[in-house]
């Protein structure tokens, strides 16, 4: 049936009809808010390229966590900026590391908020790579044991879920095995299964102070040109025991998100990364775009493409807009 019998505008003609036929919804329950916890006290330092996002010491992280919970956002994703870094990222798996202390503080003072931790070495290594360096490159298999120890120490400190972001082969299996060995078989793993080597992480590296001191991450993160490979990456993480799989970055990779949605039954997360946030904020500050409208449209695009969970620096604003 085509025009004039069919008129698409009939069901678009008023707000009530549009509401009735809307195919996609966005809820505060879909959101995860990332935060950067810094060693020290009294710290609240705005990331210059990410307006509204801060490196903060633990007491300020706790205060913001309460705000996040009170907005109805179910979870935060934590990154740590340790007091000192070394070649093997010792702070990452230290019981008194920055993240471990932050987890304990949030779990003690902010009930009703889930704490997810980023599991990676790059915030803790002096060379800024996501694993142990051997012969000028990140060594896969020796990094696995450290990642497993890091994940375990997060969980021992009270983390509700761990999210490995390093892109080593076999890390989901290594972490699953380590957690199970210690009786943590109920703790889910949200795997950054499909993570591209992306220029969109630029502002994050300022926030997490994790810029590689030599080379780049292309020997472990994915080539933006590759689509079929994403299915293989996701399949292997699922095989190893991932409970949630993530695509990252978000907006430039909606096709990948849809591919994964069509292929797998697991919950799917998308990471709306720092560079995506900075672009929107920068344009909005100049009055070039309507921030609320553009952000909500972007979130609906993630949901439409198949995401169940959206990790975004806009989460607090979205929660406020949805609650209006």
Q: If we measure between CA atoms, which residue out of 233, 319, 254, 322 comes closest to residue 33?
A: 319
Q: How many CB atoms are closer than 10 A to CB 62?
A: 17
Burial (CB count within 10 angstroms: exposed 0-12, middle 13-18, buried 19+), residue 142: middle
Which of ligand PBG, Zn ion, none sits in contact with 230, Cβ below 5 to 8 A by type? Answer: none
The structure tokens listed for 196 are 């591209």
Closer residue to ligand PBG, CB minimum distance, 71 or 130: 130
Is residue 179 close enough to count as binding ligand PBG by CB under 6 A? no
Please report, as residue ranges, which positions from 210 to 229 form the binding site for ligand PBG (by CB under 6 A): 217
Active site residue 303: no
Q: Which of 273, 295, 315, 319 binds ligand PBG (CB under 6 A)?
A: 273
Closer residue to ligand PBG, CB minimum distance, 128 or 306: 128
Is residue 165 close enough to count as binding ligand PBG by CB under 6 A? yes
Rounded distance between C-alpha atoms, residue 48 and residue 278, angstroms: 10
Active-site residue, from 178, 248, 281, 303: 248
Report in angstroms how near the CB of residue 27 gets to ligand PBG at its nearest.
Answer: 22
Which of ligand PBG, Zn ion, none sits in contact with 143, Cβ below 5 to 8 A by type? Answer: none
Q: Give the angle 260-264-267 at the CA atoms, nearest 5°.
A: 85
Q: Are strands 50-56 and 44-47 parallel, antiparallel or unpaired?
A: antiparallel
Active site residue 320: no
Q: What is the 3-state secondary structure (H, E, C) of 30-87?
A: HEEEEEEEECCCCCEEEECCEEEEEEECHHHHHHHHHHHHHCCCCEEEEEEECCCCEC
Is residue 274 close enough to count as binding ligand PBG by CB under 6 A? yes
Is residue 77 close enough to count as binding Zn ion by CB under 5 A? no
Is residue 146 close enough to count as binding Zn ion by CB under 5 A? no
Is residue 122 close enough to count as binding ligand PBG by CB under 6 A? yes
Q: Which of 39, 93, 204, 302 binds ligand PBG (CB under 6 A)?
A: 204
Closer residue to ligand PBG, CB minimum distance, 71 or 121: 121
E strand or H helix at 96? none
Rounded distance between C-alpha atoms, residue 17 and residue 15, angstroms: 6
Is residue 295 close enough to count as binding ligand PBG by CB under 6 A? no
What residues are annotated to the active site?
195, 248
Task: List contacts with ligand PBG (CB under 6 A).
Answer: 118, 120, 122, 130, 165-166, 201, 204-205, 217, 273-274
Q: Which residues bind Zn ion (CB under 5 A)?
A: 120, 122, 130
């Amino acid at each position: 049936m085509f025009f004039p019998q069919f008129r698409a505008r009939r069901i678009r003609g008023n707000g009530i009809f549009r509401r009735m036929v809307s195919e996609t919804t966005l809820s505060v329950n879909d959101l995860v808010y990332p935060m950067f916890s810094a060693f020290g006290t009294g710290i609240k330092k705005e990331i210059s390229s990410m307006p509204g996002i801060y490196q903060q010491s633990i007491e300020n992280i706790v205060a913001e966590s309460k705000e996040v919970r009170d907005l109805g956002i179910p979870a935060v994703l934590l990154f740590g900026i340790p007091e000192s870094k070394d070649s093997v990222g010792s702070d990452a798996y230290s019981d008194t590391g920055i993240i471990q202390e932050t987890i304990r503080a949030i779990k003690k003072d902010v009930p009703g908020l889930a704490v997810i931790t980023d599991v990676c070495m790059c915030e803790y290594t002096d060379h800024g790579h996501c694993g142990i360096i051997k012969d000028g490159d990140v060594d896969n298999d020796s990094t696995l044991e450290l990642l497993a120890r890091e994940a375990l120490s997060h969980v021992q400190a009270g983390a509700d879920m761990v999210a490995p972001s390093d892109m080593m082969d076999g890390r989901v299996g290594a972490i699953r095995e380590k957690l199970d060995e210690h009786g943590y078989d109920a703790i889910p793993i949200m795997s950054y299964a499909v993570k591209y080597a992306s220029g969109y992480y630029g502002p994050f590296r300022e926030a997490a102070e994790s810029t590689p001191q030599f080379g780049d991450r292309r020997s472990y993160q994915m080539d933006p040109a590759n689509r079929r490979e994403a299915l293989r990456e996701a399949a292997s993480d699922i095989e190893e025991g991932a409970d949630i799989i993530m695509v990252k970055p978000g907006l430039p990779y909606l096709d990948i998100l849809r591919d994964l949605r069509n292929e797998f039954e697991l919950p799917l997360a998308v990471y709306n990364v720092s560079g995506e946030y900075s672009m929107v904020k920068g344009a909005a500050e100049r009055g070039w775009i309507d921030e609320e409208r553009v952000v909500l449209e972007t979130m609906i695009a993630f949901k439409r493409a198949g995401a169940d969970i959206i990790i975004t620096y806009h989460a607090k604003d979205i929660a406020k807009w949805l609650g209006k």
